[in-house]
Chains A and B, each alone.
Chain A
Amino acid sequence: MYCSPLSPALASGNSTLVLVGHPNVGKSVLFHRLTGTYVNVSNYPGTTVEAARAAARFDRAASLLDTPGVLALPSRSDDERATMRALLNENLRLIVQVGDAKSLRRTLNLTALLAELGVPLVLALNMADEARARGVAIDTAALSEGLATPVVSTVATGGEGITALTDTLASARVPAPLLRYDDEIEQAIETVAALLAESAPHPHLAARGLAILLLGRDSEVERWIKTQAAGGEILARIHGLAPLTGPDSLPARLARERGRAAAALARTVTRQDAAPDRTLSLLFGKIAVHPLWGWPLLLAVLYAIYLFVGDFGAGVLVGLMEEKFFAGILNPGITDFVRTHLGQGWLADMLVGEYGLWTMGMTYALALILPIVTTFFLAFGVLEDSGYFSRLSVIANRAFAFLGLNGRAVLPMVLGLGCVTMATLTTRILHTPRERLITTFLLALAIPCSAQLGVVLGVLGGISFSAAALWGLCIVLILLFTGWLSGRLVKGHRIPLVTELPPMRMPVMGNVLKKTAGRLKWYLAEVIPLFLLGTFIMFALDRLGALPWVIEAGKPLVTGWLGLPPEASAAFVMGFLRRDFGATGLFILGSQLNALQAVVGMFTLTLFVPCIASVMMIVKEQGIRIAALMLAIIMPTAFFVGGLLNHFLRFAGF
């Protein structure tokens, strides 16, 4: 029986419903189900980094908010602070707590805190399918009675329980508190709550809940209280109440008592039955992190990616698109059309000439780059959804420790092989500014994106396997060396890795396709304007007769130090816009380059400036000073190391 009074929040027509829960429990899938708006879903903890908002399907006047996962509250990490901010600032009608049905204890631990906020709450126990597969049976009716608010079991990916969930939203109540803390703590809570209620009442959160958060030293709530008139005074009073650090600190005691209450309630409503067989998923999960077998599996995965992206994407698809479709059919037709209507003037040249916006810019973007990134994003999506990446972070942890990072950085680094710009954005999943800085730097310097990788392997692979292998070896060495160096130079400590390993799952194809489509849209919107701009600059330089001048100016560096033909200067100019664009520029020179020149050229270009888009992303994420500093380091380094390689290879008689 639900008998708590209708909360003021519900009555006054507040309009935001917020999804809150642990990382990787299915909040984003549920968000998609409830709003029809797709946000990034990933089987890797911590991938929702910004709150997303959309109108709810069942009530167009209400908006639904998807928040980053919280491991626990009071908030400690950036993600948790973002979620706390949403709770503090949103016009909350309702909290939908999304929990993992197979770890009810952990879920209720969070409920124990959310229940005190004075906001109606519904608990969605998601992943009910996985709980069933493990023989976990939860008595939702009993749990709902215990919490005095609806509890619904759901399978977000399969759409199970979604209607039941939306139907119960109307009967959501402020949950019954799960526990009374011990007397001493209760007294502290009451004191602080009274202070808050009197001199800093929050528009919709209960004073008691805020008091518990403040006593637990939630930095976001502290920030909020400082904006209140009596804030400083209240904070000073709180700090005088109890010891705030050490194993017997107030935050630790609060957390411990919530943990006990959650465990007790979970035990009374859970039954553990014998589990049916799920050997395959377990076996895969086990092999993936096995100290020995993990490596062959990784190689097999890499090989499969190579076959799909390198062979099929960069080979078959590019062949079809570029040679058969664009060069064979489309471009002659378009060229004819333009020439007949515009004649032979500069305008026609600009569109379909040697440096034509269509014949060079769009053709590169659509025929060369698009097939490669499409196949890459598909492969990446499948791996991401399967749960392999978090296991890869276990295997790769030691190597990343060498770079001063931890295995979590594996996701942005691998994504960087697809698109460095996107990967730079993804560094947000890392936990400390230090890790973000190092990863961003390594991405900018030494990770070739798929488009570039495709072109590089196309050129070098065409020369010989050893040329391609040599290039790869040099890149890995640079990566290790600069990573090692920055791990030592960047201030701060390396954080040891502690991570959850979500179960291996069969990738949901619809999910993978949607995610790939989203990434492609983002990618094309970024790439096409830059390719067109780049082509136009090349065209203008050519027209103005400046290209020879550029080539002349770059001669000492490009010809003398790097040992490349003078025309390669143009490729470096193009490389400013996008590295793959520059690589394509070298590609055109292909036949004029010998093996040594090709390796040195591609190597230097890989290290050379990250593309404009990723520079802008670095500015956005790290600030202009850091971005400028990175460029100031990267450009000279690229030419310096490239030259060293040139001289070394000549000396070694390559």
Chain B
Amino acid sequence: MIARTVRIRLTGTPTGHRVRLAEFGEEIDPLQREQLIAYGLTAQQTLTVLQQRPMTVILCEHMELALEHWVAHHIWVEEETRKPG
């Protein structure tokens, strides 16, 4: 059974949580979107939120990335759920 996953904003993710990237909001313009993808932020990628203030800092594989709140606000993520078994 596929459980419906809840999408939350990256800015709304508590520090220390691991999340999966769902999608970028419409507000993020194509250039910025490309930039984010180039940094390795692709759908389903696992991210760890390191801090939210003064900017959102995430760990994507072994790279730390700092995002201004405006950008992080328009990134939608899903809380990582443990696989059964």
Interface residues of A (CB under 8 A from B): 71-72, 76, 102-103, 105-106, 109, 131, 134, 136, 245-247, 249, 251-252, 255-256, 259-260, 263, 285-286, 289-291, 294, 393-395, 397-398, 406, 496-501, 503
Interface residues of B (CB under 8 A from A): 30-40, 42, 50-51, 53-55, 57, 61-68, 70-71
Task: Say yes or no: B39 contacts A500, CB within 8 Å.
Answer: yes
The interface residues of chain B lying within 8 Å CB-to-CB of A393 are 66
Smallest CB-CB separation from A395: which chain B residue? B54
Task: Say yes or no: A259 contacts B37, CB within 8 Å.
Answer: yes
Task: Say yes or no: B38 contacts A263, CB within 8 Å.
Answer: no
How many Å lie between the Cα of A291 and that of B52 in the bound state? 9
Instruction: Please give 6 more A-B residue pairs, beta carbons under 8 A apart, in addition to A76-B31, A256-B37.
Output: A103-B61, A131-B62, A252-B30, A252-B33, A291-B54, A500-B64
Task: Say yes or no: B63 contacts A500, CB within 8 Å.
Answer: yes
Instruction: Give the contacting residue for B51; candidates A103, A256, A289; CB below 8 A.
Output: A289
Smallest CB-CB separation from A270: which chain B residue? B61
The interface residues of chain A lying within 8 Å CB-to-CB of B40 are 103, 105-106, 109
10 A-B residue pairs with CB within 8 Å: A71-B35, A106-B40, A131-B62, A246-B30, A260-B42, A290-B51, A395-B54, A496-B71, A500-B64, A500-B66
Task: Say yes or no: A291 contacts B51, CB within 8 Å.
Answer: yes
Dominant SS at the B interface? mixed
Which of the listed residues A71, A136, A260, A395 has the most CB atoms from chain B within 10 Å of its own CB? A71
The interface residues of chain B lying within 8 Å CB-to-CB of A136 are 62
Task: Say yes or no: A103 contacts B54, CB within 8 Å.
Answer: no
Which of the listed residues B32, B40, B55, B63 has the most CB atoms from chain A within 10 Å of its own CB? B55
How many Å lie between the Cα of A398 and that of B54 in the bound state? 8
Task: Say yes or no: A394 contacts B34, CB within 8 Å.
Answer: no
How many Å lie between the Cα of A497 and that of B54 in the bound state? 12
> Beyond A252-B30, A498-B67, is A102–B55 a contact (Cβ under 8 Å)?
no
The interface residues of chain B lying within 8 Å CB-to-CB of A503 are 64
How many Å lie between the Cα of A406 and that of B71 in the bound state? 13
The interface residues of chain A lying within 8 Å CB-to-CB of B67 are 496-498
How many Å lie between the Cα of A109 and that of B39 in the bound state? 10
The interface residues of chain B lying within 8 Å CB-to-CB of A102 are 61-63
> Beyond A72-B34, A498-B71, is A394–B57 a contact (Cβ under 8 Å)?
yes
How many Å lie between the Cα of A583 and that of B56 in the bound state? 43
Smallest CB-CB separation from A70: which chain B residue? B38
The interface residues of chain B lying within 8 Å CB-to-CB of A249 are 30
Task: Say yes or no: B70 contacts A496, CB within 8 Å.
Answer: yes
The interface residues of chain B lying within 8 Å CB-to-CB of A498 are 32, 35-36, 39, 65-68, 71
The smallest C-beta distance from A322 to any residue of chain B, in angstroms, reads: 43
How many Å lie between the Cα of A291 and that of B33 in the bound state? 27
How many Å lie between the Cα of A101 and that of B57 in the bound state? 21
> Beyond A72-B37, A106-B40, is A394–B62 a contact (Cβ under 8 Å)?
no
The 5 closest A-B pairs by CB, nearest first: A72-B38, A496-B68, A501-B64, A291-B53, A102-B62
How many Å lie between the Cα of A290 and that of B36 in the bound state? 23
Smallest CB-CB separation from A291: which chain B residue? B53
Which of the listed residues B38, B50, B70 has the most CB atoms from chain A within 10 Å of its own CB? B38
How many Å lie between the Cα of A249 and that of B29 in the bound state? 13
The interface residues of chain B lying within 8 Å CB-to-CB of A252 are 30, 33-34
> Beyond A289-B51, A290-B51, is A256–B42 a contact (Cβ under 8 Å)?
yes
